[in-house]
Amino acid sequence: MSKRILITGGTGFIGSHLVDDWLAAGHQLVVFSRRPHWVQQRWGDRVRSCNNLAQLNEPFDWLVNLAGEGIADRRWSERRKQQLRQSRVDLTRDLLDWAKRSDQRFELVLSGSAVGYYGSFANDDQQGKGLTEQQPHGDGFAAHLCRDWEQIAQEFDAISERLVLLRTGIVLGPRGGMLKRLWLPFRFGLGGVIGSGHQVLSWIHLNDYCRALHFICQSGIRGAVNMTAPKAVTNREFTQALGCELKRPILAPMPTLVASTLFGEMSELLLQGQRVLPQVLLQHGFQYDFTDIHDAFRQIHADW
């Protein structure tokens, strides 16, 4: 059955692929974006765009809230931290206020979050067998940001049949996301291990992310869901696998002190990590196409 879907972040790396999928499935989409002209250029009349919630008076079946400034795009100054909060926490609050004013009653709300919710760990031993959805939130800026983001999103529970919080890891795919920044340096042999290399990266292939999200839509899953592959990797394993796929040597390590000096507080994203387990998806029987980082890089390289 066709659904009326309102999506924020629909012009992003993940959101644009979801819009393509939902269009192919026959759903009706409205993309809330600061770039309405980009929406029209990509999808034409098939997708409606708007940049003001006051323009939206009709009811929607699903709300998909994936908007947010890139957390690793710039150094975390106080101004940048405020921008990150505004693009996540404040926007979610604006959506909630609009939904209440327009008397929305959603079948499903999918709201973005991240594995940063659990805090960051330099030592894998601190995480036991892995972090599941039952783990409490951690400390640090990223953890508090995700906590506050989710707290606002929880209020959608009162006006929706089902609410899902998407705690997303590093999404890997061609020409976008984290790999868009790493691909060229690694192609020139300039990639390297960061810090000790023992910090853990919880990742998921873009195809599996979209498939998992569609699986969630069709299931009865609710609450927090870790959107990661079952097998996390260390920074060293990630670096070696990417270098191997591109047939380039790994020659330029970035010492901990250099990363801390260059990136300040934001260096926690590079020097620490989380071993996150997608317990909910696995318990509900979701089948991954990519559980091995080498297989993921091989497919991404073929599609680049």
For 24, the token pair is: 């192919």
Q: Is the pLDDT of residue 285 over 80?
A: yes
Which of 144, 122, 127 has its CA nearest to residue 235?
Answer: 122
Take residue 262 and report the two structure tokens written for it.
């260059």
- Distance from C-alpha of 114 to C-alpha of 112, rounded to nearest angstrom: 7
In one-letter notation, the amino acid at residue 212 is: A
d(CA 124, CA 139): 16
Q: In this structure, which topology does domain 4-303 adopt according to CATH?
A: Rossmann fold (3.40.50)
State which of 53-57, 255-259, 290-294 shows the largest mean pLDDT: 290-294
Token readout for 120 is: 């960051």
Q: Both tokens of residue 57?
A: 């008076």
40 pLDDT above the threshold of 80: yes
Candidates 68, 18, 70; CA nearest to 43 is 18
pLDDT over 80 at 259, yes or no: no
Q: How many CA atoms lie within 13 A of 157 on its CB side?
A: 11
Q: What DSSP state is assigned to residue 261? A: H
